[in-house]
Amino acid sequence: MDFKNYIGGAWHETTEAVNNINPSDISDIVGVAAKAGAGDLDQAISAAHHAAPAWGKSTPQQRFDVLDFIGSEILARKEELGRLLSREEGKTLPEGIGEAARAGQIFKFFAGETLRQTGDRLASVRPGVDVDVTRFPVGVIGLITPWNFPIAIPAWKIAPALAYGNAVVLKPAELVPGCAWAIAEIISRSGLPAGVFNLVMGRGSEIGPKMIEDPRVTAISFTGSVPTGRGIAAACGANLKKVQLEMGGKNPMVVLDDADLDVAVDACLNGAFFSTGQRCTASSRLIVTEGIHDKFVGALAEAAANLKVGNALEAGVQMGPVVDEKQLAQDLEYVSIAAKEGGKVLGGERLSLASDGFYMSPALISETTNNMRINREEVFGPVASVIRVRDYDEALSVANDTEFGLSSGICTQSLKHASHFKANAQAGMVMVNLPTAGVDYHVPFGGTKGSSFGSREQGAYAAEFYTSVKTAYTLP
Ligand code: NAD
């Protein structure tokens, strides 16, 4: 077994195992991964439960040293880890290396945060009394992650969890055990005490609910799809468990008549199709005012048709495969739904290439309206639709007419419209003349409406989720 579970400081095999398949070439088995059952999960939670109190009392220096070690090693090995990522998930090699580097930067950021933990000392409203407000660890945190950012998302949950003194049980997505194992392997040599970090690879629907119901797990941080997230929120509510959810998107990108055409085409090409469109922040609704509409659609269609689709590990490839057969079938199904609804489809076809993988051409669907299914539901593939609107006011109203609220973008040279959009777009992140996807790691990440629930991830704001607050009163 290549990718084992890591429980209580030791590597654990399981009786069942899963083949990790390269989506660029299905004859390539990346490795054989453990498939945990309830017993393995129980051991991991028990290990975390016993290790949590001592780690919660560790010094900032101990935490800094561990996180700095992990971040430094990931950065030093970003090419190798990026290659593993691209091989198991299918994003191109430069994207894989970029994501690995991002994971390293995140650990480095939270290493710094260990030394910056603050509290407040206030005067009481009562004479002679002092008030202290301090933060303390939450306890054992269950982390449940998706397949599309297999190293960065675990990193942006593990790093703050450890930085603020918590113990962790990570359950990564079944499709990407390699990256989760690689992080665990680095953590196993970082000096972190046994049991503080545990990796349990297994089926989400089997072990996920058990993790949420276990009273020793005090909080759950989840990233994934809306239906899974809703179920987790309900179960956490019933168990009075702290919960943070990052879910789907149907992110709008508004292109106004006064936009720089090249900037708009680049932003939409990147936002819609890079990482094979498999980003929660992908630009999937392109909302374009009528003066620039035809020019914009023509230029974007040409750029999309020229994207080189191929094996993620090959030099020069700009778009890798879809992650698996099921996701590919879903993407193609949405393209056909859009065509039946009256959309004009360019691309969006399954491709047979030299290596046998899950390839499709990028799909650009014009002449759509915002009430079509293609504009209401998340596809999670290289599929973008275009909605023609009269003016800025209609564009803003269409952009906000969605149950999601993760990222929202506008391409314009008008300061007035850009400022108004930043203030009125119903989204947790707003981009002006930039793709809806692609964010910094030192600032909060997250959405509004149906995209997110609970406090923000990343940057100093992560402390809200990974700590609890204590207010102490003293009469000296
Ligand atoms: P998913 O919901 O199928 O799975 C996510 C994780 O939940 C996996 O680890 C899975 O095993 C686990 N899981 C499945 N059923 C469970 C259950 N009943 N209880 C507990 N855990 C369970 O999502 P996915 O297909 O892996 O990822 C794609 C989705 O993730 C998309 O909707 C995308 O928008 C979203 N996503 C969101 C963000 C964000 O930050 N907002 C980032 C990346 C991806």
Arithmetic mean of pLDDT, 278-304: 98
- What mean pLDDT is reported for the chain? 97
Say which residue the tokens 């101990």 belong to: 62
In a domain, 116, yes or no: yes
User: What letter would DSSP give residue 276?
Assistant: G
In a domain, 66, yes or no: yes
Q: Give the domain-ending residue among 432, 450, 466.
A: 432
Query: Same domain for 408 and 464?
Result: no
The residue whose CA has the least distance to atom 20 of ligand 1 is 208
Dist. CA 71 → ligand 1 center (Å): 25
Query: Same domain for 86 and 221?
Result: yes
**Pocket flag, ligand 1, residue 142 (CB < 6 Å):** no
What is the pLDDT at residue 159?
98
Query: Same domain for 162 and 255?
Result: no
The residue whose CA has the least distance to atom 26 of ligand 1 is 146
Query: Same domain for 191 and 262?
Result: no
d(CA 281, CA 262): 21
pTM of the model: 0.97
- Is 280 in the active site? yes
Arithmetic mean of pLDDT, 50-64: 98
Cβ neighbours of 32 (radius 10 Å): 15
Within a 13 Å sphere around the CA of 466, how many CA atoms are in the beta-carbon half? 28
Q: Which structural domain range is residue 303 located in?
A: 251-432
Query: Same domain for 71 and 88?
Result: yes
Query: Same domain for 350 and 211?
Result: no
3-state helix, strand, coil in the chain (%, to 5): 40, 25, 35
The CATH number linked to 299 is 3.40.309.10
Q: Is the pLDDT of residue 59 over 90?
A: yes
In a domain, 437, yes or no: no
Tell which atom from ligand 1 comes closest to the C-alpha of 228: 2
Number of structural domains the chain divides into: 2
What is the pLDDT at residue 157?
98
Q: Is the pLDDT of residue 1 over 90?
A: no
- For residue 178, give Cα distances in angstroms to 31, 181, 228, 314, 438: 7, 5, 23, 20, 24
CA dihedral 206, 81, 94, 143 (to 10 degrees): 30
Query: Same domain for 111 and 19?
Result: yes
Q: Is the pLDDT of residue 117 over 90?
A: no
Query: Same domain for 228 and 269?
Result: no
In a domain, 289, yes or no: yes
In a domain, 29, yes or no: yes
Query: Same domain for 391 and 298?
Result: yes
Query: Same domain for 32 and 101?
Result: yes
Query: Same domain for 93 and 211?
Result: yes
Query: Same domain for 418 and 302?
Result: yes
CA dihedral 151, 156, 159, 160 (to 10 degrees): -170
Arithmetic mean of pLDDT, 264-268: 98
The CATH number linked to 469 is 3.40.605.10
Quote the tokens at residue 20. 């990790």
In a domain, 222, yes or no: yes
Dist. CA 230 → ligand 1 center (Å): 11
In a domain, 91, yes or no: yes
pLDDT band at 204 (very low <50, low <70, confident <90, very high): very high
